[in-house]
Structure 1
Amino acid sequence: MKPSNETLVLVDRPRDRIARLTLNRPEKRNAMSNALRTQLFAALEAADRDPDIAVIVLRGAGSCFSAGYDLSSDVRDGQPWYSAGGIGNWPRHVVEGCFRIWDMAKPVIGQVHGYCLAGGTELAAACDLLYVADDAKIGYPVVRSISPPDNQFYPWLVGMRRAMEMMLTGDTISGIEAAASGFANRAVPGEELEALVLDMASRVAMVPPDVQQINKRAVHRQMEAMGIRAGIRAGTELQAMSAMTESARAFHASVQQGGLTAALSERDGRFGDYRTAGD
């Protein structure tokens, strides 16, 4: 895959010591191609190295945060860093990316509005803090046709019962439900979201970065002691196994035969949501 000449990630500094990254494919609901992901991780790492930046904000342009990975592209082509090939390459690659954010020195704050689906939820889950619009729609519809998540974070963030319900239905939760369940820190009306995120980012930026990186790691190390890193890595093997089922192969065949839109509409039509709900 050739490098994209498009600016797929916008970078600005809305306040002192804050870098803000905006996924910039609004016409595709910020579907994450490898070209976009390459620019995103380059921008994240540049901000993490910048001594003038103390905190990073991540959001999406247009109507939503992200509807997930770009299923119309070949995710094996042009990955932004090398991941070992073979069975399970993609889920391993995704998890490595989420842990790249996890392991950065600077705190990353997610700002979610509209759809936050599939790979979008994985990206949001990797952020250190997450603030959402109260009417956001957060979920992993891929469980209906292909597999559980590449990055199986749901049980860690929302608990077994809520995670089980989401995994067995592919239904979304609202921003309000996301905050109540622990997926997000807080939910507010959409018109208040940007101000909330920037105010929180400014508060986070008051703490010296050399101290803040240790504060961030202190929480992560406790999660690791409970097994989160090993558990999520083990989950990549289940994702790879599910992607080889007869049902998953049939779904991919339907995409090849009738196109992605038709395949997704057929998948979700029985549930009456996502694109079949008319939003």
Structure 2
Amino acid sequence: MADVFSKLGLYLQYPFVQYALIVGILIALCSSLLGVTLVLKRFSFIGDGLSHVAFGAMAIAAVLHFTNDIPFVLLITVVSAVLLLRTGQNTKIKGDASLAMISVGALGIGYLIMNIFSTSSNLSGDVCSTLFGSTSILTLTPVDVWLCIILSVLVISVFIFFYNKIFCITFDESFALATGVRAKLYNLFLAVVIAVIIVLAMNLVGSLLISALIIFPALSAMRLFNSFKSVTICSAVLSVVCAVLGLLISIGFGTPVGSTIVAVDIVSFFIFTILGKFIGGSRQ
């Protein structure tokens, strides 16, 4: 164990590890803020759908040899989020069906493009890194970090500024409409913000594990708290702690970053579930 701490002390001196921690904390914070809303509105799997779209966009960006693929991936994912919301409102194509169409279609086409046009000598490794975030978080450039900081600050500011509106459309959209809140507009706005978070989170846990980063902290917080504000705050704190622990464990023991963070989130969920039952039983 002493060797692990020595290894961590050594690695923490390197800029790429510091970049990974900064980005990991910001992504975990942004994901957790909207995770509570997605769970309560039963939109949990929208993260899966948009993450697969982002994978397809990254495949196209790789084929076109973009030096920085984040703006392109962000644009495609945001447009897909808007289309997903619009299509889900069509009576002929229900929301879950449109989500499945976009999700599976983007994932399949993305992998097909990478197989046909990729010039990489390690295609399997590239796909694995994109899907599971095995190493990308440790190869961030200062430009990537600053872009993540700007987008994260934007997401957090939007959540704080529109907190009351988000609260209204989360619990009672019909009541929100009756009181003059433009629920459809805010749902669209929410979808765009989620798309931004998805693109940011791909570097941390990969496209297949993004939903875990969004859902688990929210579900864990709901084991202990009942109010929206308390659950949101607890989810944010827990998400950041799990992300940092996952990153440190990954660096110390050489495990995949994304999978390790998800494993820590799962453990925390079971701990919070046990605490919730214990505290709930003691209150009765």
Q: Mark the structure with the bigger radius of gyration.
A: 2
Higher-RCO chain (CA-CA 8 Å, sequence separation at least 6): 2
Task: Please classify the TM superposition score into its range, dividing by the shorter chain length.
Answer: under 0.3
Higher helix residue share: 2
Q: Which has the higher strand share?
A: 1
Q: TM-score when scaled to structure 1?
A: 0.27
* TM value normalised by structure 2: 0.26
